[in-house]
Amino acid sequence: MGSWQGKSNLFKRTASVQIKDLTLRKYEGMQASARLDEMLRMLKEVFGDTDDIAIRQFRIFGSFNAAAVFLEPMVDQDRINRDILQPLMTALKDGQAEQLHASRIADYALHDCLHAADASAEISIVPMLLAVTSGETLICIDGSHKALIVNTRDIKKRAIEQPQTEQVIRGPREGFIESLDTNIALVRSRLSTTDLKVKMAPIGRRGNTNVAVCYLSSIADPAIVERVLGRLAKIDTDAILDAGYIEQFIEDQPFSPFPQIQNTERPDKTAAALLEGRIAILSNGSPFALIVPCFFSQFYQTLDDYTERFLIGSLIRIIRLVALVTSLIFPALYVSLISFNPELIPTDFAVAVAGGRAGVPFPTVIEVLMIEISMEILREATIRLPQVIGGALSIVGVLIIGQAAVSAGFSSPITVVIVAFTTIGSFATPAYNAAIALRMLRFPLIILAGSFGLFGVLIGLLFIANHLLAMESFGVPYMAPFVPGNWQGFKDLLLRGPIWWMRKRPSHLHTLDANRLPPDAADAPMRRTLQYAGEEDTRAHE
Amino acid sequence: MSDTLSISSIRMAALVTSANVGIGVLTLPRFAAVGAESGAPLLTAAGILCGTMSLLLLAYLCSRHPGENLIFFSEKLVGAPVARVMNGLLILYFLLVSGISLRQFGEVVVLVLLQKTPMQIVECMLLLVVALSARRDLIKFSFVHSFYLPFILLPGLFIVLIATRSIDPNNLLPLIGNHRGDWPNESVKIASLSQMSFVFCLLVPLMKFPKRAASSVAIGAAVGGSLYLLVVLTTVGMFGAEETKILTYPTLETARSASMGVGQRLDALFLIIWVISIYTTIYATYYFSVHASRDLFRLEDHRMLASFYMPAVYAVSMIPPNIHVLYSLWDLSGRYGFLLTAAYPLLLLVMSFIRSGRRRAHA
Amino acid sequence: MPSWRRMPALALAAAIALPLLSGCWDRQELEDRALILGMAIDEVNEAAAGDHEHTTHLHEPKSLRNHRILVTAQIAIPGRVPLGPGESGGGKQGGLPVWVVKVTGYSIDDALNNLQQEIANPRSLIHLRIIVVSEKIARRGMEDINDYFRRNSEVRRSTWIVVSDIEANKLMNVAPPLERVPTLYLLSMIEKSVEMGKFPPQYSGNFWSAESRLGQDEFLPYVSIRQKENILLKGMALFRGGKMVGHSEPIEIGSYMAIKGLNPGGYSILGDVPGIGAIMLKSNRRIAQTKVSIRNGKPHAHIVVHLDTSIEEKIDGESERYTAEDFDLIRNHMGKEVSYFLLEFIRKTQRYRSDPFGFGEMFRAREPAYWNSVIKSKEDWEREYAGMTFELECKVAIRREGLKLN
């Protein structure tokens, strides 16, 4: 497996000292002893206070003392019985045992006896200890410098289900789970190609969490791969409990409200990203894959856009864009219209709105802020509550509180409408993290609107837009393909072009193979369109 | 990483357009109508042509020296002392222009949008946005301009389209106006509007194909110029020259008359969008001052300068005591500024020809 | 780029600090504004007017002696107009949804300042949609009134200015049952008549533009009240040199629109056709071509008006059935009749020396040599206009005659 320092060419030449936890540091570089009792003493020293350790002593082939060491909760004991103990404890034919020298016994057992696919011989202490902690079985043999490591890990996995956060109408129903192996398998099963490279190494001093970087070597830009590996190598932390930890360690602009790394629970989305020339980072224990580099436009695109026909996909995408913009600026616009520029409201409606607001004791900006904040509280509460109550609460929140606020003269009915609309709009943004960023940015905008009206809103939007324009995700401009513009990218930006028309991969990813489709990919569909009920059809009828 | 390190021809054109279209949009029809009455569109066209020519000159000059920007190669062409004085003058001129533009912007906002808000606050807010964004590098500078371009062009075209049906062709006749105006003088004044995109001379070395600088600039200036021309055409066509002359912000009145059938006012909306075009213009002039100073003083980083020039621009914007002085100052700076920004590149180009001729003679 | 990392933080800091520092100068809630929807301007009878409110001056300005005006403003009362459909015409129950305030002053601004002394909320002209000027004021001159409205950035260019033949403030009290807000009724009446082709779209903006032009005189809608509550569009108020000089008949609005070729065509023409009877023709589309030239040193215009019409009504029919000849007869006869009263209207404006058509602008545009030598000011053109000669042809085309064929 190796380490991220090793994977990254950047670190090839620098002498890196990987810091382990205290025990591991103590045994750093030590070789295993050939004496079983010494090994057992050492193991008892390390795992002395651990009650779930099991040390099973036995005799290999009836003649060599050995011990199997494993952590009971993490292993499949049946497999240890069947695949390790049974073959090893079978006595050999007469004379064969005598021929075997104690030092070669490990190799013989590994090559001729053990029926386990994932098994290896090891001579250093540290990997042995790590193997035990990750649920593998260590077999120490008296008289042999080598110890055997057999993978007997058995950790309970969740079944593969439809991802909760990224549901689709049409498309695969599989989602990642917490097991890295399963997740890689899910991706691999979609891309059966030798180009799919998976680089794995553990991260974290104490967690030693396996992290995999996947990319297609014939497409992904080596420079970006190198950059990803380099940043991963620099992570030095206790453990990676979720892919989100990695995201925060490697993102370009930690202080930006906008996410610069996409996360997904969907293997199909991951595969699509790999095909575009992006890089996926998966980590053990997390059902989320991180996708880098990432454009802002990815946050309003969903898989549905692509699985459905392009006209429908485009329409839905436009609606989602409208919702996205709405969730950001709608309340701010409302505040500035009511408090600063009522001349933009039609006269009869303006008179009526003034009537609706007549009893409200607060300025619009305060009113909107209060309702917005209570809406955010409701949203947060609904996520935390058990689902059955949550549904009830949101209805209570929207209907009862809104109605009550209006009849209590606490807010005007239009404010409630506006805030409700905004909240719904923000739920239409598929990426939760991007939606939250916009929801939060709406508050400074409301304040600006409350102090400078439309002018304030515009200045706020300029700030946001300038910030977005300055951002980069792994060296790729964040606002691509809008700025810097790219014609091929425009086909998949606001609209979703026909699938046979989007011939190029995103150019800003600098893919090695820029073409997704052959140059004449659009010919056949276009010919069918133009000869609608024409030659092709008539011949078919004959 | 070609797109984060170099500038495409289209982005260059977008930059020129978005820098050019700016403060002049609101007042240009009045200047043009005062200058040539119903001949305003023709006068505008002449002025824009004049400005575009001078920009093309500069673009050609820059593409002859693709390795360096104006500040550096000018020192080689005319010698360091002369070039430094001239470049310093350019920097001062664009600081002045930034300040006056800022003041004009403040005047409009305070007159129409925020009557009670102190103008200083309004100006400071915009200046803050400009100065903060001036801290970024040249590539990001070009990003900003190409991003905002649609927001500058589309609302303008929208207003023009709405207003088209109220155009009376009689208002645009006779084509050269009833009385003889001072055409050369007035067209120079209009030409100075296109000098706002002077900053592109710093970006030519970063272009993917520096040889295409001239064509990019031509396209950019043409698009920006057409928008100006359209604005003048609709405004004068709608109000007539006599009315245009007495309106402080004729284009604003066009937007104000253009009601979307519902009879509601669109001028506030128009003004808000107009703020974007002001922002890009002041950004361009300010950025030139900041970046050119960096190269002139051979500094490593321009971010300090970006903050350092803020008070200067603010101070300039506070000089004119009233709107009349403001516009006469604008007039003056436009006229002499055009002299500077057109004649200096011409001088450099001549020197460049002489040098290359001498080199060829040697070889 | 470490500086850009600080950007959002700075933006946030600015967003929080600014309102704290500023105190939101311009924030003015909608319900706290005294929205003036309509305004009427009348002459003041000095004897009956009463005291001066000294809000803008201490001593009467000499140049404005006997120039006091009475401004009647309709201010929307928030809360009277319910939000949403609710009870229709809800305004009636709790009294008028508008508050009518009368003030006097030497100028519009002076009067409005007086008004501000009387009401709590700051006045706001952003929704001023209609200004009614009494004929007396209009005859005295509109320039002073225009000046205020043109300078003020709150006033729209799509405001309507109308001239009333009676006291203008009476129109502010008219409360027809159709609209919730009285002013909006007046407004929708005029706007709908524009939609139907009953009046050219002469917003205040167009009025002001015409005022500035040397070769055109301005005009305004001329209204009156019938049966207390009904508002009648009575014609066009014609101006010369900024002063109203006369008004047209309602049908002459149609004449105006025909001569200018303005669409849609809204007016019907009643005419006698010998041998057939009285015929009502409705004009659907108008096209006008005007050629201007100088004849014998005098401006001359040749106008061809095409009218697309349909037969709406036939009264006291003598012929049982139309034939093709009858159609031609109607066409020719009506053509003559129409061109007669079109010319009649032009003569009327010539008598007033007021050129609402903008013929002068055509001369300026197409005959600059003549224009530059003769016309120096607006009066020059108004004098020339009186002596202008016209040739007018009217071509009527009948396109259809409804569901009945005789």
This prediction has a pTM of 0.88
Residue the block writes with tokens 């569909």:
A525
Do C207 and C312 fall within a single domain?
no
Where in the sequence is the domain holding B182, given as residue range(s)?
9-346
Beta bridge partners of C244: C239
Tokens of A542: 């004959």
Chain A residues within 8 A of C9 when measuring between CB atoms: 255
Do C231 and C291 fall within a single domain?
no
CB-facing half-sphere around the CA of B317: CA atoms within 13 A: 25
Do C336 and C360 fall within a single domain?
yes
User: Residue B1 falls within a domain, yes or no?
Assistant: no
Do C337 and C227 fall within a single domain?
no
Where in the sequence is the domain holding C120, given as residue range(s)?
32-58+65-247
Q: DSSP letter at C197?
A: T
Q: Are the beta carbons of B214 and B55 closer than 8 angstroms?
A: no
User: Residue C309 falls within a domain, yes or no?
Assistant: yes
Residue at a domain's end among C223, C247, C271: C247
Pairing status of strand C219-226 against strand C160-164: parallel
B328 near C CB under 8 A = no
Give the pLDDT of residue A401: 80
Q: What is the distance in angstroms between the Cα of C219 and the nearest Cα belonging to chain A?
A: 26
Do C159 and C226 fall within a single domain?
yes
Q: For all residues of chain A together, what is the average pLDDT?
A: 84
Task: Render A425-461 in DSSP notation, one character per residue.
Answer: HHHTSS-HHHHHHHHHHHHHHHHHHHHHHHHHHHHHH
Q: Are the beta carbons of C174 and C231 closer than 8 angstroms?
A: yes
Give the pLDDT of residue C1: 43
Do C221 and C264 fall within a single domain?
no
Do C183 and C300 fall within a single domain?
no
List the chains bordering chain C where 3 or more Cβ pairs fall under 8 Å.
A, B
For residue B180, what is the domain's CATH number?
1.20.1740.10
Q: Which among B118, B178, B243 has CB closest to C208? A: B243
User: Residue B354 falls within a domain, yes or no?
Assistant: no
Do C304 and C386 fall within a single domain?
yes
Q: How far apart are the first and last CA of chain B?
A: 38
Chain C residues within 8 A of A347 when measuring between CB atoms: 37, 127, 129, 184, 187
Chain A residues within 8 A of C3 when measuring between CB atoms: none
Tokens of B340: 């500077």
Do C176 and C285 fall within a single domain?
no
Give the pLDDT of residue A133: 87
- Domain count within chain B: 1
Cβ C156–B265 below 8 Å, yes or no? yes
Q: What is the distance in angstroms between the Cα of A297 and the nearest Cα belonging to chain B?
A: 14
CA–CA–CA angle B256, B260, B264 (5° rounding): 60
Do C164 and C267 fall within a single domain?
no
Chain C residues within 8 A of B178 when measuring between CB atoms: 364, 368, 371-372
Residue at a domain's end among C214, C247, C280: C247
Tokens of A102: 């104690």
Chain A residue set in contact with B, beta carbons under 8 Å: 223, 340-341, 343-347, 452-459, 462-463, 465-466, 469-470, 472, 475-477, 479-480, 482-486, 507-508, 510
User: Residue B353 falls within a domain, yes or no?
Assistant: no
Give the pLDDT of residue C4: 54
Chain A residues within 8 A of B109 when measuring between CB atoms: 455
User: Residue C105 falls within a domain, yes or no?
Assistant: yes
Taking the C-alpha atoms of residue B80 and residue A31, their distance in angstroms, rounded to an integer, is 70
Do C271 and C350 fall within a single domain?
yes
Q: DSSP letter at C178?
A: T
Give the pLDDT of residue A28: 78
User: Residue C119 falls within a domain, yes or no?
Assistant: yes
B303 near C CB under 8 A = yes
Determine the average pLDDT of the residues in C28-57.
79
Q: Which among A454, A465, A483 has CB closest to B146? A: A483
Chain C residues within 8 A of A365 when measuring between CB atoms: 24, 27
Residue A491 phi/psi, 5° resolution?
A: -65, -20
The answer, yes or no, to whether residue C91 has pLDDT greater than 60, is no
Give the pLDDT of residue A120: 86
pLDDT band at C89 (very low <50, low <70, confident <90, very high): very low
- Listed range (A277-286, C74-83, C136-145, C243-252) with the worst mean pLDDT: C74-83
Chain C residues within 8 A of B136 when measuring between CB atoms: 1, 3-4
pLDDT band at C329 (very low <50, low <70, confident <90, very high): confident
Residue window 309-338, chain A: list those with CB within 8 Å of chain C.
338
Determine the average pLDDT of the residues in C176-180.
70
User: Residue C26 falls within a domain, yes or no?
Assistant: no
Do C214 and C100 fall within a single domain?
yes
pLDDT band at B262 (very low <50, low <70, confident <90, very high): low
User: Residue C299 falls within a domain, yes or no?
Assistant: yes
Cβ B143–A484 below 8 Å, yes or no? yes
Tokens of A150: 């057999």
Q: Which among A344, A455, A486 has CB closest to B114? A: A455
- Domain count within chain C: 2
Give the pLDDT of residue A17: 44
Give the pLDDT of residue B176: 81
Give the pLDDT of residue C197: 84
* Residue C264, preceding peptide bond in cis (omega within 30° of 0): yes
Chain C residues within 8 A of A460 when measuring between CB atoms: 11, 15
Q: Are the beta carbons of B52 and B225 closer than 8 angstroms?
A: yes
Tell me, letter by letter, the H, E, C secondary structure of B71-132.
HHHHHHHHCHHHHHHHHHHHHHHHHHHHHHHHHHHHHHHHHHHCCCCCHHHHHHHHHHHHHH
Give the pLDDT of residue A236: 85
Give the pLDDT of residue C319: 64
Residue at a domain's end among C247, C264, C279: C247
Q: Which residues touch B290 (CB under 8 Å, ≥6 apart)? A: B134, B302, B305, B306, B309
Q: pLDDT tens, B140-179?
A: 899 999 999 998 888 888 888 888 888 888 888 888 877 7
Q: Point out the residues of chain A with pLDDT beneath 50.
A: 12-17, 19, 540-542
CA C275 to chain centre: 41
CB-facing half-sphere around the CA of A63: CA atoms within 13 A: 15
Residue the block writes with tokens 């795992």:
A47
Chain B residues within 8 A of A466 when measuring between CB atoms: 129, 132-133, 144
Q: What is the distance in angstroms between the Cα of B304 and the nearest Cα belonging to chain A?
A: 18
Q: For all residues of chain C together, what is the average pLDDT?
A: 82
Give the pLDDT of residue A94: 67
The answer, yes or no, to whether residue C90 has pLDDT greater than 70, is no
For residue C292, what is the domain's CATH number?
3.30.300.210
User: Residue C14 falls within a domain, yes or no?
Assistant: no
Cβ B256–C26 below 8 Å, yes or no? no
Pairing status of strand A289-292 against strand A136-141: unpaired
B5 near A CB under 8 A = no
Test the B interface: residue of C125, C130, C212 with most B CBs within 10 Å: C212
Q: What is the distance in angstroms between the Cα of B272 and the nearest Cα belonging to chain A?
A: 6
Chains A, B: CB pairs < 8 Å: 89
Q: DSSP letter at C111?
A: H
pLDDT band at C368 (very low <50, low <70, confident <90, very high): confident
ipTM: 0.92
